[in-house]
Amino acid sequence: MVSVEFLQELPKCEHHLHLEGTLEPDLLFPLAKRNDIILPEGFPKSVEELNEKYKKFRDLQDFLDYYYIGTNVLISEQDFFDLAWAYFKKVHKQGLVHAEVFYDPQSHTSRGISIETVTKGFQRACDKAFSEFGITSKLIMCLLRHIEPEECLKTIEEATPFIKDGTISALGLDSAEKPFPPHLFVECYGKAASLNKDLKLTAHAGEEGPAQFVSDALDLLQVTRIDHGINSQYDEELLDRLSRDQTMLTICPLSNVKLQVVQSVSELPLQKFLDRDVPFSLNSDDPAYFGGYILDVYTQVSKDFPHWDHETWGRIAKNAIKGSWCDDKRKNGLL
């Protein structure tokens, strides 16, 4: 098995990280206090109680119920900055060099907070991560799939200045997967793509949903990356396609265990993906909820795949760099 020191030194990229999912209980309660937010009846009352709840979730929806309550404590531009900055400070120490991070504007606009407030706070933290740590980053705006597509179109309109000027680099799709398949969002993706030819497209698919949702995201939404995508393992033709087109899957091992998609990291089809040359990166998803940041993810995977040598890990790190949306100059600097 490779050492933690080796994994620490590997230049690591994160492609699947929800900024709202970095809200640690020890920031959640102080922010609730600072912003006079009353947490709902029955919500854990202390950091310890909340950490206890986060030990296991029944499924994606059980987690999302907590996650959306958490987001409610974020109000001011400073709150969004503080959240993202706390994240960058942590992962800088873990050898992260590039981060493509999600956020959910609709979790905030639905509470009367403007896209501008959220985006500017997060962007300011990204700028500081670059100036202080040399970490490059991209913002990916996600649409919440439980929200009506018509509403999502309005969100895209509100985000138009940031899509046009490149502050938002990519569009994603998250939240409850099974009841809300990709085809519902064809118009949204088409609209967003028409605003800026450089806008990248991705979507959560094949996390709890079937391999068909992965194919549909590729065919109907024209995405060039798939978030999770582990259920692609059950469709041989799809695996060939992902390999042929070098479409990257952003895998989140600790998330899959905590949400009971698999019972252990060793069950993940990572060896199959390597053997079939399906590119993937390893990611932390919602680290405050799932028990680990990027180095913890790499370390856990190394324990569950102990036969992977330095060369295999080098290949994984290189695939993550190659699949990133940074420019070629930055990629070549990292490779």
The residues that touch Zn ion, with contacts defined as CB under 5 A, are: 285
21 binds ligand ES4 (CB under 6 A): yes
Q: Which of 150, 207, 237, 311 is catalytic?
A: 207
324 binds ligand ES4 (CB under 6 A): no
**Residue 92 annotated as lining a ligand binding site:** no
What number of chain residues touch ligand ES4 (CB under 6 A)? Answer: 11
User: What is the pattern of x (binds ligand ES4, CB under 6 A) and - over residues 35-74?
Assistant: -------------------------x------x-------
User: What is the pattern of x (binds ligand ES4, CB under 6 A) and - over residues 269-308?
Assistant: ----------------xx----------------------
Cα distance between residue 164 and residue 160, in whole Å: 6
**Residue 286 annotated as lining a ligand binding site:** yes
Residue 302 contact among ligand ES4, Zn ion, none, beta carbon within 5 to 8 Å by kind: none
Residue 71 contact among Zn ion, ligand ES4, none, beta carbon within 5 to 8 Å by kind: none
**Residue 16 annotated as lining a ligand binding site:** yes
Residue 14 contact among ligand ES4, Zn ion, none, beta carbon within 5 to 8 Å by kind: none
Q: CA angle, 230 as apex, 226 and 235 as ends, to 5°?
A: 95
Of the candidates 116, 174, 166, 161, the one whose C-alpha atom is nearest the C-alpha of residue 137 is 166
174 binds ligand ES4 (CB under 6 A): yes
Cα distance between residue 2 and residue 238, in whole Å: 31
Min separation Cβ 207 and ligand ES4, Å:
6
Bridge partners (DSSP) of residue 173 are 143
Residue 175 contact among Zn ion, ligand ES4, none, beta carbon within 5 to 8 Å by kind: ligand ES4
**Cβ-based nearer residue to ligand ES4, 101 or 326:** 101
> Could you tell me the two tokens for 312?
């295999």
CB 129 within 8 A of CB 98: no
**Cβ-based nearer residue to Zn ion, 79 or 285:** 285
**Residue 108 annotated as lining a ligand binding site:** no
CB 94 within 8 A of CB 292: no
Cα distance between residue 7 and residue 1, in whole Å: 11
Residue 284 contact among Zn ion, ligand ES4, none, beta carbon within 5 to 8 Å by kind: none
Based on the residue annotation, tell me whether 207 is a catalytic residue of this protein.
yes
* Footprint on residues 176-235 left by ligand ES4 (CB under 6 A): 204, 207
Min separation Cβ 163 and Zn ion, Å:
21
- By beta carbon distance, the residue nearest ligand ES4 is 174
> Could you tell me the two tokens for 42?
């029955």
DSSP string, 268-311: STHHHHHHTT--EEE--BSHHHHT--HHHHHHHHHHHSTT--HH
Task: Order the strands of the 12-18 sheet from edge to edge.
Answer: 12-18, 96-103, 136-144, 168-174, 200-205, 225-228, 248-251, 280-282
> Could you tell me the two tokens for 166?
């490149």
Helix (H, G, I), strand (E, B) or coil at 105: helix
Helix (H, G, I), strand (E, B) or coil at 185: helix
Cα distance between residue 9 and residue 2, in whole Å: 12
15 binds ligand ES4 (CB under 6 A): no
Helix (H, G, I), strand (E, B) or coil at 227: strand
Cα distance between residue 214 and residue 78, in whole Å: 37
Binding residues for Zn(2+): 16, 18, 204, 285
Catalytic residues: 207
Binding residues for substrate: 286
Residues that bind ligand ES4 (CB under 6 A): 18, 21, 60, 67, 174-175, 204, 207, 255, 285-286
